[in-house]
């Protein structure tokens, strides 16, 4: 009887390389477009101004989208006076506390409501009230230095979502009878 010898060996080798992974950032940005009309209807001035989405606005977006079950909101636009020293907005500003700017109420009525259209499905997804601008009929002569978006038409109990300084071309003069039409455009961009 023959004896068979066999020898076997196995070598297992494994290597792992960590890839860069899928990382996605979401950029939230918006701007106010303001057109000032003279009492006779002629355009007096126009400006497009980027905004700062403040911390309470970011928190509200996250909370209401990821935790909300039947969330609804109303939004309103307010105006900011234009002090000679300039207007300063900060991420920590709230509707109740904002030391770098002062709200203007030199117009008829309360803060006008914002009627947004349908958000686009593209990247970026954009929503705007350009089909129905918020309108201010001014009742005093003053300098307007910015605008803001919030969730209440009067007072300071709501959420400040964003604010914008009229940095370029700067603060603008209005007189009683001027009408400001303000549109707000907001986009979410997955970058």
Contact present, 180 and 36 (Cβ < 8 Å): yes
At 143, list the tokens: 């300098």
At residue 153, the pLDDT reads 96
At residue 100, the pLDDT reads 86
For residue 183, what are the CA distances in angstroms to 11, 20, 85, 133?
A: 68, 40, 26, 5
173-181 average pLDDT score? 95
Q: Give the separation between CA 93 and CA 162, rounded to whole angstroms.
A: 9
The number of beta carbons lying within 10 Å of the beta carbon of residue 52 is 17
- Over residues 112-144, the pLDDT tens digits come to 999 999 999 988 899 999 999 999 999 999 999
The number of beta carbons lying within 10 Å of the beta carbon of residue 171 is 19
Answer whether residue 8 shows pLDDT above 50.
no
Distance of CA 52 to the CA centre of its chain: 6
pTM: 0.83
Binned at pLDDT 50, 70 and 90, residue 11 comes out as very low
What is the number of H-type helices and E-type strands within the chain? 1, 11
Q: Are strands 103-104 and 76-81 parallel, antiparallel or unpaired?
A: antiparallel
Listed in sequence order, the residues at least 6 apart from 75 whose beta carbon sits closer than 8 Å to its beta carbon are 113, 114, 116, 149, 150, 151, 161, 184
Answer whether residue 24 shows pLDDT above 90.
no
- Over residues 33-71, the pLDDT tens digits come to 999 999 999 999 999 999 989 999 888 888 888 887 677
Domain extent listing, the chain: 26-190
Binned at pLDDT 50, 70 and 90, residue 2 comes out as low
Q: Give the separation between CA 164 and CA 170, rounded to whole angstroms.
A: 11
């Amino acid at each position: 009887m023959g004896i068979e010898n066999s020898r076997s060996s196995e070598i297992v080798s494994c290597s792992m390389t960590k890839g860069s992974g899928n990382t996605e950032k979401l950029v939230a940005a918006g701007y106010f477009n303001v057109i000032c009309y003279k009492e006779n209807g002629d355009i007096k001035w126009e400006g497009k101004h980027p905004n700062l989405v403040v911390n309470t606005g970011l928190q509200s977006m996250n909370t209401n989208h990821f935790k909300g079950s039947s969330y609804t909101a109303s939004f309103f636009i307010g105006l900011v006076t234009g002090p000679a020293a300039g207007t300063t907005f900060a991420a920590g500003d709230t509707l109740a506390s904002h030391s770098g700017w002062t709200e203007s109420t030199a117009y008829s009525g309360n803060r006008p409501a914002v009627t947004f259209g349908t958000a686009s499905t593209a990247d970026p997804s954009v929503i705007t009230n350009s089909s129905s601008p918020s309108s201010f009929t001014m009742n005093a002569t003053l300098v307007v230095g910015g605008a803001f978006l919030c969730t209440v038409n009067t007072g300071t109990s709501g959420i400040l979502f964003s604010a914008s300084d009229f940095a370029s071309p700067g603060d603008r003069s209005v007189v009683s009878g001027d009408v400001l039409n303000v549109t707000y455009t907001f986009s979410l961009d997955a970058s």
